[in-house]
Amino acid sequence: MTKMNDDGGLIGMRTEDLRVQALKNPLGINENPVFSWQLVSDKKDEKNERQTAYRILVSESEASLINETGMLWDSGVVKESRCFGILYQGKKLHSAQKAYWKVMVWDGENQASVWSETASFETGLLEREDWKGIWIGQGEDYENQELAPVFVGEFEVADLEQVVCARAYISGLGVFLADMNGQKLSDAFFEPGESDATKTVYYVTYDITNQLVSGTNFLTITLGNGQYTGYTINPVMVYQDGTKTKFGRYQKNDSCFVKPGICGRKKLIAQVELILKDGTRKIVCTSNENWLWVNGPTVFQNWYGGEDYDACLAEELIGKIPSEENGWAKAKKMQSPKGVLIARECPPIRIEERFIVKSVKKLGEGHFLVDVGKNGAGFVELVLHGTTKENRGNWISMYPAEMINEADNGVDQRSCTQSWSEKFDCVIRDSYRMAGTGEERWHPSFCYHGFQYVEVVGFPGELTSDQIICCRLAVANEKHGTFETSNQTLNRICEITDRSISSNMYWSFTDCPQIEKLGWIETSHLMFASVADVYDIRAWMKKIIHDICDSQLDNEQASLAGNNEEGFVPGIIPAFYRIEGLYKDPNWNGACVFTPWAYYQYYGDEAVLRQAFPVIERYLAYLDRQTTNGVLENYAQMGEWGEYGEHTPNVLVATCAYYRMLVITKQICEILKGQKKQKENKLDKKAKLYEAKAQAVRDAFYHHPECYDEATEQFGTGSQASYAIALFSGMAEEHEEQAVKALVEAVKKNGYHLTSGEVGLKQVFTALAEAGYSDVVYQMVMNPTAPSYRVFADNGLTTLPEYWNYEELWLGSMVRSRNHAMMGHVREWMTSFVLGLRPQSPGWTKMLVAPYAVAELTYAKGSVMTPWGIVKVSWKKENESFFLAAYIPLGIIATVCMPKEYGGSQLEVGSGEWKFEAKVEN
């Protein structure tokens, strides 16, 4: 570890990828930094290295960090092997404070590494008193909410040379765009991030140092509706004499209860601060009633229905100094949201991919059909060349859709608008009014769509593929997970699943990017591993968990809901909607238990368990009140959602979920009680209480006729999901061998077809694969007849549809989404069993490398990001030999298991690059 090279540097263990709140050098965080890093070694062919201790230094300046003076925190040498979840324990941090930090680690031989590169973080505004501005807007009674108002705050910078750095702190509800002196503050969209505004309002911190000028500066903020304001718009489908009008803009509108305060009028709060050379912190601009506003060139914007932009109006506004003489009005003070202003500590939504569309087909004069080539989420960008005054004032309209209307070769928006019959019952449209100034470029700023096709109407001249650019948007979660095999169809299934996942990575993990765009929270735990195996979701999923905890109803909100619902957690977060008949189910509402637990299992972070524990307890108390004779009978409304061909009783699905929650909560109590020496404390008592409740639920389950038949030993209806859910939850522990065999027989009986819905599907794959039946899973996935994933790939789909029987639905009257991630559980199986990479302890401290040698495959390779770094694996079959190669990051202990047909030998290894070979056993 301490061998010197020729230039005096140290060769050995070192640290990289330093992060705070799982973000690189974050700007504007809350007051409790959490540190992490990854370990690498410069030693060639070194194996089994590990960290045994660390030391962190945090300082107010880079110079003092180098000199190790004036520390905010010196952790000292801490005997600890973990390199993530390290809590700051130094001096109290104040608002807008920048800090620099570095870390040194020790190896198993007690040799120290070199210091890491310097990293940084900066706090935001930590106290409400730090905000000197007020919430402003157009006024509480302003009627036209479809327009996007532009607000301007003016301030002076007397001597720019004295400014070391400048920050803008902004929140705008529903969504906002901001620029300083005509320059965008970032490339992010839909800031600041959705939340339950009765509990939390997010703000964003921007570095505006390089955008300031000496003299007068203008901070411009444009507000859009997002979800927050969208529900004030009138319904789009109007009935006249029993018929529907064809010209409304689509707006989802079937809510039965919305929490007061979660939606409201557009408003903003902003503050600009300078740090001067003498260390002075100076506030130069705050939102107040001296700000001016005007309705901007976005003349219609709706989260669902689309956006209209008038470039002629934009041209008129450009160059005119904001003033009341020029038609601007004074801003008005708005009612403040009840929620606490906090920094959003997760990546922004960005354009993650730009690409030229696949084809353009002319349908008529100025009328074209664009095939993007693959379904996804985002919008298209228009690129116009040579527009003239003859074009000025003319509109170009774009209709995004997932389907083509074969009757006229235009688009069919039914799968995007919940329409049942006619092509344009209600419309999603983006429109651009040309200025005729030559070169023009535009894309929406306040909405996005799910689409593969775009019908363009009113385009001047011939539309070519380079004039309409597809922009795919998503939260900027880093992608690390890979998967590839010798079977191209299986690879396409992986691509289809990954694309469905990314299409729904917005401020919540949405159900779909068109019809609803809502954060149905069952996928946050059912799909957790499938998503985490591909993307680094540490920061993003923490935001989702925070939002889930915020959504829990207190006594006042429960009373307004009209039921005894204190402790209830909505199935949609933020709870912009409650759909009658589809809001009560423990696999949805119970995400307050399951998602923090999944996060802890994957990332090893106990903090999310501490955060969620009070919410968990209140929710379990609520759920206990819903039981009948110990089970959840006639309660769950969704059950095995999306099941096909076989029914699984709701009481079985719900009661198994409740049982598993109680078992998990008992384990959480044991984790949180820590290392306290006293024989018993409150958490000990709670652990015993939840254990007793779990046993009581278990007993009741076995006495319920819809759950278990003692005479035949059948669970539920004998469906695939009946057995799998009982196995996955632990309910069938004493009958495991029989239940696994029955599950396999249930699959064979259905011709290896998938029948499970989104709850049971993950559990079917997991129960089969963990019992050694990945061959059965493979046959289900690759079944050439529906329902199966292979049929999706063979039919040319590029994202996962909502239901297995999608073709039947599309041929009938109920056309549903073509882009749902909820059935994407095959992605977890690919990483966990085909590659064989899965954790054996929280945070991957111990893991398995246990690939399943699929008979039909000759090779497989891939990777997964863990808190310790990227694990890589590849295997191939040649003649009668099986070759396995793996890279294990420093800090992980891996148990390598060769496939059983190649001997099934096992070996425990540490970090490093490893190669293994085994022969077929006859």
What are the strands, taking DSSP E only, across 602-695? none
User: By three-state DSSP, how is residue 567 classified?
Assistant: coil
Instruction: Give the span between the Cα atoms of 896 and 828, in whole angstroms.
Output: 19
Instruction: Give the span between the Cα atoms of 626 and 633, in whole angstroms.
Output: 8
Instruction: Give the span between the Cα atoms of 251 and 231, in whole angstroms.
Output: 8
Q: Whose structure tokens read 């004499």?
A: 241
Q: What is the pLDDT of residues 447-476, one digit of tens each?
A: 999 999 999 999 999 999 999 999 999 999
DSSP string over 226-254: HHHHHTTSPPS--EETTEE-S-EEP----
Sign of CA dihedral 222, 225, 227, 229: positive
CATH topology of domain 13-123: Immunoglobulin-like (2.60.40)
% of the chain exceeding 70 in pLDDT: 93
pLDDT of 241 = 38
What are the strands, taking DSSP E only, across 447-487? 449-457, 468-475, 482-485
β-pair partners for 450: 377
Q: What is the pLDDT of residues 482-539, one digit of tens each?
A: 999 999 999 999 999 999 999 999 999 999 999 999 999 999 999 999 999 999 999 9
Question: DSSP state, 476?
Answer: -
Instruction: Give the span between the Cα atoms of 352 and 339, in whole angstroms.
Output: 31
Domain assignments of the chain as residue spans, ordered by start: 13-123, 131-343, 349-432+455-475, 482-486+510-834, 848-919
Question: DSSP state, 841?
Answer: S
How many whole angstroms from its chain centre is CA 86?
A: 24
Is the pLDDT confidence value at 774 over 60?
Answer: yes
Q: What is the pLDDT of residues 738-768, one digit of tens each?
A: 999 999 999 999 999 999 999 999 999 999 9
Angle, helix 607-625 to helix 538-551, in steps of 10 degrees: 30
β-pair partners for 243: 240
Contact 616, 668 (CB under 8 A): yes
CA angle 858, 886, 837 (to 5 degrees): 80
Q: What is the pTM of this model?
A: 0.95
Q: What is the pLDDT of residues 866-908, one digit of tens each?
A: 999 999 999 999 999 999 999 999 999 999 999 999 999 999 9
Instruction: Give the span between the Cα atoms of 759 and 491, in whole angstroms.
Output: 24
Number of helices and strands in the chain (H, E): 21, 49
Report whether CATH 2.60.40.1170 matches the domain 482-486+510-834: no
User: By three-state DSSP, how is residue 535 classified?
Assistant: strand
Q: What is the pLDDT of residues 102-119, one digit of tens each?
A: 999 999 889 999 999 999
Instruction: Give the span between the Cα atoms of 649 and 634, in whole angstroms.
Output: 10
Among the listed residues 508, 501, 587, 502, the one whose alpha carbon sits nearest the alpha carbon of residue 550: 508
Instruction: Give the span between the Cα atoms of 264 and 802, in whole angstroms.
Output: 31
Q: What is the pLDDT of residues 697-726, one digit of tens each?
A: 999 999 999 999 999 999 999 999 999 999
More confident: 575 or 848: 848
Backbone angles phi, psi at 865, to 5 degrees: -90, 125
Please determine whether the domains at 131-343 and 349-432+455-475 fall in the same fold group of CATH: yes
Is the pLDDT confidence value at 171 over 70?
Answer: yes
Is the pLDDT confidence value at 239 over 70?
Answer: no
Is the pLDDT confidence value at 420 over 60?
Answer: no
Backbone angles phi, psi at 434, to 5 degrees: -70, 145
List the single range of 177-191, 519-533, 544-558 with lowest mean pLDDT. 544-558
Q: What is the pLDDT of residues 323-343, one digit of tens each?
A: 999 999 999 999 999 999 999
How sure is the predictor about 414, in pLDDT bands with cuts at 50, 70 and 90?
A: confident
pLDDT of 240 = 35
Instruction: Give the span between the Cα atoms of 305 and 786, in whole angstroms.
Output: 34
Is the pLDDT confidence value at 289 over 90?
Answer: yes
pLDDT of 680 = 60
Question: How buried is 43 (Cβ within 10 angstroms: 0-12 exposed, 13-18 middle, 19+ buried)?
Answer: middle
- Please, how many CA atoms are within 13 Å of residue 150, restricted to the half-sphere of its CB? 21
pLDDT of 558 = 64
User: Who contacts 642 (Cβ-Cβ below 8 Å, separation ≥6)?
Assistant: 757, 758, 802, 803, 804, 822, 823
CATH topology of domain 349-432+455-475: Jelly Rolls (2.60.120)
User: By three-state DSSP, how is residue 490 classified?
Assistant: helix
Q: Supply 828's token pair.
A: 């977890």
Contact 302, 289 (CB under 8 A): no
Mean per-residue pLDDT, 29-57:
90
List the single range of 21-25, 142-146, 435-439, 543-547 with lowest mean pLDDT. 142-146
Q: What is the pLDDT of residues 608-636, one digit of tens each?
A: 999 999 999 999 999 999 999 999 999 99
How sure is the predictor about 254, in pLDDT bands with cuts at 50, 70 and 90?
A: low
The matching CATH number, chosen from 3.60.21.10, 3.10.580.10, 3.10.129.10, 2.60.420.10, for 848-919 is: 2.60.420.10
Instruction: Give the span between the Cα atoms of 883 and 900, in whole angstroms.
Output: 14
pLDDT of 5 = 32
Question: How buried is 102 (Cβ within 10 angstroms: 0-12 exposed, 13-18 middle, 19+ buried)?
Answer: buried
pLDDT of 563 = 62
CA angle 233, 238, 240 (to 5 degrees): 155
pLDDT of 49 = 87
Instruction: Give the span between the Cα atoms of 860 and 857, in whole angstroms.
Output: 7
Instruction: Give the span between the Cα atoms of 331 and 154, in whole angstroms.
Output: 13
Written out in words, the top-level CATH class of the domain with range 131-343 is mainly beta
Among the listed residues 525, 509, 506, the one whose alpha carbon sits nearest the alpha carbon of residue 608: 525
Among the listed residues 547, 660, 671, 552, the one whose alpha carbon sits nearest the alpha carbon of residue 609: 671
Is the pLDDT confidence value at 231 over 60?
Answer: no
In angstroms, what CA-CA distances link 551 with 180, 511, 607? 35, 18, 19
As a whole number, the mean pLDDT across the chain is 92
More confident: 170 or 407: 170
Instruction: Give the span between the Cα atoms of 766 and 759, in whole angstroms.
Output: 12
Q: How much is the CA Rg of the chain, to the nearest whole Å? A: 29
% of the chain exceeding 90 in pLDDT: 84
CA angle 16, 22, 190 (to 5 degrees): 130
Mean per-residue pLDDT, 290-318:
95
Instruction: Give the span between the Cα atoms of 779 and 541, in whole angstroms.
Output: 32
Is the pLDDT confidence value at 372 over 50?
Answer: yes
Q: What is the pLDDT of residues 66-109, one digit of tens each?
A: 999 889 999 999 999 999 999 999 999 999 999 999 999 999 88
Mean per-residue pLDDT, 415-438:
79
pLDDT of 657 = 99
How sure is the predictor about 581, in pLDDT bands with cuts at 50, 70 and 90?
A: confident
Contact 582, 531 (CB under 8 A): no
